[in-house]
Amino acid sequence: MKKRILKILAVILIIIVCSAGFIVYSQWDNIQAVAYYTKYSNDEISTMITENDKKVSKAVEKLPDITIHELTADEKEALKTGALSQEDTVNIILSKSVLVKEGENYTVVANETYDNSVEENSTDEVEAAKQRVAENIAQIYVYKEQYSNELDSILKSAMEEYKSLPSGERNSKSKEDIAFKYLDVALNLEKECDANMEAIIKEISSDLKIYGGDKSVVDDIKEVYENEKSLKKAYYLSIYN
């Protein structure tokens, strides 16, 4: 029985490997996830995830020319349901646009207080690089939300399928079988996460060199997402088991 339980845990760890959309360089996040899972409660892990998210904004503060608007609950929900496109969400994060909610409907309008004169009039390579860095950081926020939502959906489907089984069939074997069923979907999502994040981080690094921005921001972002992966894996483990 103990071997079967350990096997189930290993499979679930693989399934949730891409929860934060970050490049996997080692298995440290898996090891750390198990440590979090065994040491902290579900509520404690949730609090740690919230605190970790704040570190992204702290890292961006190293780039004084870039201002990031944190997504509100309504904006996250609109992105999740498809009411917001990736492009619209990026513009909202950059404060170029605002989301207006009327009842159950969402509308994206231009932010009248946003000054885009520099963007429209500048042909300077440095200013262009700054704009690309801002857009790519905003895109990281979007990827993070989208991939977390997709993974939530995968895990929700797995749990619902398990719960729909007759009570007599709900056991470690059926849980393992369901986990394997959803494994391919999760692994494909992981590959997509890795490819997109690798590309975007390379672009940010390149543009920071062009205008002399603080390159430690890249390391900060990597560290935040590495930790978030571990925390979210631990969180999903606590839910699934």
**Rounded to two decimals, what is the model's pTM?**
0.78
SS3 content of the chain, % helix, strand, coil (to 5): 70, 5, 25
For the chain, give every domain's residue range: 2-240
Give CA–CA dist 124/122, Å, rounded: 5
The neighbouring-strand residues paired with 98 are: 109
Give CA–CA dist 12/235, Å, rounded: 11
Q: Count the neighbouring beta carbons within 10 Å of the beta carbon of residue 66.
A: 18
pLDDT at residue 20, rounded to an integer: 42
Where residue 10 falls among pLDDT bands split at 50, 70, 90?
Answer: very low
Where residue 28 falls among pLDDT bands split at 50, 70, 90?
Answer: low
Q: Quick check: 221 and 215 in contact, CB under 8 A? A: no
Give CA–CA dist 132/206, Å, rounded: 10
135-139, 151-155, 178-182: which range is least confident on average? 178-182
Token readout for 42 is 């579900």
30-34, 59-63, 202-206: which range is least confident on average? 30-34
Q: Count the neighbouring beta carbons within 10 Å of the beta carbon of residue 92.
A: 24
Give residue-wise pLDDT tens across range 156-170. 888 899 899 998 988
Query: Is the Cα torsion angle 200, 191, 57, 90 positive or negative in sign?
Result: positive
Token readout for 136 is 């790519």
Give CA–CA dist 136/133, Å, rounded: 5
